[in-house]
Each structure stands twice: as C-alpha cells, then as structure tokens.
Amino acid sequence: MQKEIKLARLVLKKWILENNFKIVVFNMIIIFLFLLRSAGYFQPYFSISVNFIVMFGLFLSYLLLGTRSRVTFFITLIFWLFAGVLQVLRINVWAERTGIYAFESLVFGVILFLGEEVKRKYS
C-alpha cells in the first residue's frame, strides 16, 4: 500500500512540474471570469453566470490540462457529495445549484468518455 502511495505521489509531482504554467494560466482565467462577473461586464449582452464559469472551467481543463473523463467523473462525484452535504444542512438553494453543476460535469464527462472511446476504437 505504501508503495502505491509513493508511486502516485511521484506521478502527481511529475505531472504538476510538467504542467505548472498551464495550471497557473487556468487559475488566472477562472479568477478573471469571476472578476468580470462581479464587475458586471457584458451584462446587457452576455451574462457571465457561475454556471457558465463552471462549464467553461471544465472545458478549459480539457483544453489546457488534458483532463480525461475519469477526472471529470471524479469532479461530478465531488459535486454530488457537496450537494448532499448542503441538502443535509438544509441550504437548499446552494444544494440545487451544486446539483446542477454535478449534472453539467456528468454530461461533459460522458461526452469526453464517448470521444475517448471513439478515438481509441478508430486509432
């Protein structure tokens, strides 16, 4: 068990070192989107909502970081667990929104999975 944990840490450390710049760019774009949302830019023409930022973040993670469907399904699981915690705490509005984020990430994960399977089958 210790061996697998050390191997996973080494793989994660190697991935972080290889993609450090991409992670910084990803975080800066997400922060910039939240700043644009709070400032109300593009407000009458295009509403930058949190749903848009979550979906754009998932899509951007695929483009910049090479996220696979497995990671997207793990993000879906985290959203579902967080929605469940919010529902137990009776914070219903945020539980519903987090449930929507979970559904969006699930749909995106299924699309990624289908794309990966088609690519693997025909390559």
Name the domain boundary from 47, 67, 87: 67
Q: Tell me: do 52 and 107 sit in the same domain.
A: no
DSSP letters for 18-67: HTHHHHHHHHHHHHHHHHHHHHTTTTTT----HHHHHHHHHHHHHHHH--
What confidence score (pLDDT) does residue 43 get? 80
Q: Are residues 19 and 61 in the same domain?
A: yes
Indicate the number of domains in the chain.
2
Q: Does residue 11 sit in the same domain as residue 51?
A: yes
- Residue 70 to residue 5: CA distance in whole angstroms: 19
User: Stretch 31-60: mean pLDDT, rounded?
Assistant: 88
- Domain coverage including residue 93: 68-123
Q: Do residues 27 and 57 share a domain? A: yes
Query: In this predicted model, what pLDDT tens digit does every residue of 64-115 receive, in sequence order?
Result: 988 899 999 999 999 999 999 999 999 989 999 999 999 999 999 999 999 9
What are the CB-based long-range contacts (under 8 Å, 24+) for 75-84?
75/105, 75/109, 76/102, 76/105, 76/106, 76/109, 79/105
Task: Tell me what the mean pLDDT of segment 32-38 comes to.
Answer: 90
Quote the pLDDT of residue 90.
92
Domain endpoint, select from 67, 90, 105: 67
Q: Look up the pTM and report it.
A: 0.82
Q: Given this model, what pLDDT does residue 117 score?
A: 93
